């Protein structure tokens, strides 16, 4: 069944990949079952380090260049976690959370001390008891999998953060995965699906496309104002955002630069689009560039556009 036809009443669209299989690099998914949408509920307090109390771990704030001492980095009144969960830029006062969705989520991440953290920020209008639905999944080699909460929560820390409207909350889930696992997989997408209470179809989705370069994990993002790396049959721009930052940055990464690639759509692989790197260079930025950036020309990787996950 096409993923954009997924609904709460038709949840058998893909097999389940237990987190244990992902963590241990088991080649084939074991313990296959069917994923079902989960209703969010109250969660235990998190012990994750969060200096400014905005719900986002310090390591993520450092990786995203946020101000780890301020809950609202850009001073626009919306806490960083809320902006992240509602598809807004927490570093720009000109960007404000997208209105109209009672639940929305965004997935991003960072790496520190050999551990990659998959961080999901979920905005919940009306709080944890509102009954909205959320799902977490992965795409590997074009195949989608739904992860049940009981398979990833044992590896996660969960916190609840405030929003501008005190009646709403942001739930932050920080899932720990060995960095070596992400690097060895090479190309992986983590995605989220959300739907408000009493809604049948998925109304919002997000995706984090991961690649490895020079032995380190990166998130593929588009340049501000540029074309998405997956632009139909056209040419796009891909930026490699390093998950590793600060003192954990390996010597093979070039500080003060970022890997920027020109990409060309080259086909599909399951739900994902495959793109080819036609040019690549390290350009000046407040980031780090892989020493393998330039040599990536001619290589291909897959990406998932979350738009195809919405609807039904």
- Render pLDDT for 198-233 as a digit per residue (tens, 0 to 9): 777 889 999 999 999 999 999 999 776 555 665 555
Taking residues 109-120, what's their average pLDDT? 92
**CB neighbour burial string for 12-44, b if at least 16 within 10 angstroms, e if fewer:** ebbebbbbebbbeeeeebeeeeebebbebeebe
Residue 271 confidence (pLDDT): 87
pLDDT grade for 296, boundaries at 50, 70 and 90: very high
Q: Find all residues with CB under 8 Å of 2, minimum gap 6, and list them.
A: none
**Distance of alpha carbon 37 from alpha carbon 172, whole angstroms:** 18
| Whether pTM exceeds 0.75 | yes
Residue 88 has pLDDT above 90, yes or no: no
Residue 35 confidence (pLDDT): 34
Cα of 27 vs its chain's centroid, Å: 23
Residue 107 confidence (pLDDT): 96
Assign residue 63 a region (left: φ > 0; alpha: ψ between -120 and 50; beta: otherwise). alpha
Instruction: Tell me the two tokens of residue 15.
Output: 């097999």
Pairing of strands 235-242, 253-269: antiparallel
Taking residues 187-195, what's their average pLDDT? 92
306 in Cβ contact with 312 (< 8 Å): no
Beta bridge partners of 273: 268, 303
Instruction: Tell me the two tokens of residue 10.
Output: 């038709």
**Distance of alpha carbon 272 from alpha carbon 57, whole angstroms:** 30
DSSP secondary-structure letter at 83? H
Domains of the chain, first to last: 3-210 (2.60.40.10), 214-305 (no CATH)
pLDDT tens for each residue of 240-293? 999 998 888 888 899 999 999 999 999 998 889 999 999 999 999 989 999 999
Q: Find all residues with CB under 8 Å of 163, minimum gap 6, and list them.
A: 78, 79, 82, 123, 169, 170
Least confident of 17-26, 226-235, 291-300: 17-26
Helix extents (H) in the chain: 19-23, 58-63, 80-85, 149-152, 179-185
Taking residues 293-306, what's their average pLDDT? 93
Cβ neighbours, 10 Å, residue 98: 13
pLDDT grade for 8, boundaries at 50, 70 and 90: very low
Residue 50 has pLDDT above 90, yes or no: no
Least confident of 60-74, 123-137, 217-231, 291-305: 217-231
Residue 235 confidence (pLDDT): 81
**Distance of alpha carbon 1 from alpha carbon 16, whole angstroms:** 15
pLDDT tens for each residue of 137-181? 888 888 888 887 877 787 788 889 889 888 899 999 998 888 888
């Amino acid at each position: 069944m096409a993923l954009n036809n997924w609904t709460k009443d038709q949840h058998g669209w893909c097999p389940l990949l237990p987190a244990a299989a992902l963590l241990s690099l088991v080649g084939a998914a074991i313990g296959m079952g069917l994923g079902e949408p989960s209703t969010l509920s109250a969660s235990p307090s998190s012990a994750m380090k969060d200096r400014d109390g905005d719900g986002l771990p310090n390591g993520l704030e450092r990786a995203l260049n946020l101000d780890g001492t301020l809950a609202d980095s850009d001073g626009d009144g919306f806490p960083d976690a809320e902006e992240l969960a509602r598809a807004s830029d927490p570093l720009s006062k000109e960007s404000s959370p997208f209105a109209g969705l009672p639940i929305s989520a965004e997935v991003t991440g960072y790496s520190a001390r050999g551990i990659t953290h998959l961080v999901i920020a979920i905005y919940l209008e009306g709080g944890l008891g509102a009954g909205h639905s959320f799902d977490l999944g992965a795409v590997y080699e074009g195949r989608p999998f739904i992860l049940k909460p009981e398979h990833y929560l044992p590896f996660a820390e969960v916190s609840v953060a405030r929003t501008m409207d005190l009646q709403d909350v942001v739930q932050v889930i920080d899932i720990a995965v060995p960095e070596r696992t992400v690097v060895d997989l090479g190309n992986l997408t983590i995605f989220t699906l959300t739907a408000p209470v009493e809604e049948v179809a998925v109304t919002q989705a997000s995706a984090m496309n991961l690649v490895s370069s020079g032995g380190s994990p990166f998130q593929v993002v588009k340049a501000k104002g540029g074309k998405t790396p997956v632009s139909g049959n056209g040419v796009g721009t891909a930026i490699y955002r390093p998950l590793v930052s600060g003192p954990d940055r390996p010597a093979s990464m070039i500080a003060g630069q970022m890997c920027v690639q020109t990409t060309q759509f080259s086909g599909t692989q399951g739900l994902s689009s495959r793109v080819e790197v036609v040019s690549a260079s390290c350009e000046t930025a407040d980031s780090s560039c892989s020493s393998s950036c330039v040599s990536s020309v001619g290589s291909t990787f897959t990406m998932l556009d979350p738009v195809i996950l919405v609807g039904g």
